Chains A and B, each alone.
Chain A
Amino acid sequence: MSGQSPYARLWLAIAQVALALVILIPFFWMVSVSLKPGDEPFAIPANLWPDNPTLENYVTAFRPEFRVYFLNSIIVSLSTVTIVVSLALLAAYTFTRNQTRVILVLMALVVAAQMFPASAIIIPIYKMMKSADLLNTYASLILAYITVTLPVAIWMLRAFMARLPVELDEAAAVDGCGPFRTFFSVILPLCRPGIVATAVFVLIVTWQEFLFALSFTSTKDMRTLPVGMNDFIGQYGIRYGELMASSVLISIPVVAVFFLLQRQFVAGLTAGAVKG
């Protein structure tokens, strides 16, 4: 807003510093504890920052089972992102280009689907996976994750594609493009920012998914990172130094992807939420 008095600017600056503290203190604490050697995380009262910071917790945290969890998370997340974005592109394109009554009803059903609780439908899905002999496999997790993220992905891409004018398709048709050519060589390239935003969103959701992974995986070699972390709590007593080091390690991939792609991500995320 224009015409801020110096006094008002001071207060606003103080408020922003307070906000930064609220956001960053828990992160600071996480990093600080992860760098504390040996028994220091258990010192009372706690030290804000270790006197002799060390990376030893990271070395212990990166134990073989953690590497397995990491690999599992990567396999499951990347497969989900690829499949969901592909399916959602096709569906979103149809939803914005063929608005017949039946298709509008289907779209409403898809939007509604993302709002129902996973916990309420997990038991029948669990039993389906069991009878298909898919429990404790990547396939069961990927299928579940596709299902929970697909509606949101369609919703985000639809908001994005709705802004591409239909005249584009018509012009492509006049130039002799069939519907497939139109979709792949005209529409897809223009959707790149929307695709990036959707992919990042799906990645953030699947990377942290907990409930399905907790229920569908039973052996250590199939656990994903969030479930593995949850196991760590009980397994080794609470070894906070290591736990915080693993927390940092788990967060790095998503935080890095976010900072690399944040401009497109925020634009895509809010396009759906603001314009409905």
Chain B
Amino acid sequence: MGRGGKGSAEGMENRNRWLAWVFLAPAMILVAVLMYYPMIGTAIESLYSTSFINPNPQFVGLKLYRQIFASGDFGQIVRNSVVWTVFVVLLQNVFGFAIALLLNQRLPTSGLMRSLVLLPWILPGVVAAILWRFMYDPQLGLINSFLIRIGLADQGVAWLAESSTAMGAAVIAAVWKGFPFSAVVYLAALQNVDREQIEAAIIDGAGAVRRLFSVVIPSMREVIVINVVLTTILTFNYFDMIWVLTRGGPQNATHIFPTKIYELGFGQFRFGEAAAYGVFSILILAVLIALYFILQRRGQKAARA
């Protein structure tokens, strides 16, 4: 902001400040009322017990938390959430980065592929999930038909109905849906890598692999870290894919926080327990979000230095 120091300029500064609040107010009020206030609401809700038979909330203190800890479900949902998040994020970012490198090459088809690559990400989540559910179908699915035809299997595997394969199948579907986003972000970042540094490395005789690890990746570190944290948050919160594929089954094998919360709350009207799970997921995310801000600030400082 220019500071003229004259009376009229100061008057305008004041007016701008007043206007700033007018411009901000609608957005701030909505975010406060519909996002931050409900977070407190969730914490309060978790102290009251309701059920389908007993819909009037009864204050029970921390009893629901004790109940949740005592049941085997909680441990399993934490484990599932960790497995789900770690594998989806890892595969999505590694695959996305590799695809970005591939599309950054000067080939006649690169332009076309850059348009195609976002397709899975644009496809509505429920549609993607239904499509994969069908692909995994033991009798009718493309995957089993293919395995039988090439002789790798005698009969179809019920990928989504076996506890041992359901989570892996869900992870693959989610990676297919999510990697385009990472690929596009990394591609944009690759195009920002300093050409001079790369050319200097070529003159020094560094091969492609060497250039990748000692020039390209270090200069993209900030983008990579921020994207890993961001995809971690999005994956942890991802409801549609698992809900449509398995509803959390078989026997809780694919239940993660969002699906469990929905099932408890809207399936069984046990709002209190659902809210207690909600409080846990808010706490876990608060840690991740704090991490995001710390890493981003450090990155900005490094960029200024």
Contact = CB atoms under 8 A, between A and B. Distances in A.
Contacts of A88: 27
B123 A45 contact: no
Nearest to B187: A270
Interface in A196-226: 204, 207-208, 210-211, 214-215, 225-226
Interface string B3-38: 000000000100111011001101110110011111
Given A115-B288, A118-B237, A147-B30, A262 B131 contact: no
Interface of B: 1-2, 12, 15-17, 19-20, 23-24, 26-28, 30-31, 34-39, 41-42, 45, 99, 102-103, 105-107, 109-110, 113, 115-120, 122-128, 130-132, 134-135, 139-142, 145, 148-149, 176, 180, 184-185, 187-189, 192, 198, 202, 208, 222-223, 226-227, 230, 233, 236-237, 239-240, 243-244, 257-258, 261-262, 265-266, 271, 274-275, 277-279, 281-282, 285, 288-289, 292-293, 296, 299-300
23 contacts: A1-B105, A4-B106, A16-B102, A100-B17, A103-B24, A106-B28, A110-B27, A116-B289, A117-B257, A117-B278, A119-B239, A120-B42, A121-B42, A121-B278, A122-B38, A147-B34, A208-B127, A208-B240, A210-B126, A211-B240, A243-B134, A244-B134, A266-B184
Interface in A9-39: 9, 12-13, 15-16, 19-20, 22-27, 29-30, 33
Chain A CB within 10 Å — which of B36, B236, B288 has the most? B36
Interface residues of A, number: 96
A170 B13 CA distance: 12
Nearest to A3: B202
B38 A226 contact: no
Given A12-B105, A22-B176, A247 B130 contact: yes
A32 B2 CA distance: 62
Contacts of B23: 90-91, 93-94
Nearest to B105: A12
Given A94-B20, A119-B281, A179-B16, A266 B113 contact: no
A125 B34 contact: yes
A150 B124 contact: no
Interface in A250-276: 250-251, 254-255, 258-259, 262, 266, 269-270, 273-274, 276
Nearest to B180: A23
A215 B262 CA distance: 8
Contacts of B278: 117, 119-121, 123
Given A12-B102, A23-B116, A112-B289, A251 B124 contact: yes
A124 B41 contact: yes
B53 to A, nearest CB: 19
A6 to B, nearest CB: 12
A95 B23 CA distance: 10
A115 B293 CA distance: 12
B207 to A, nearest CB: 11
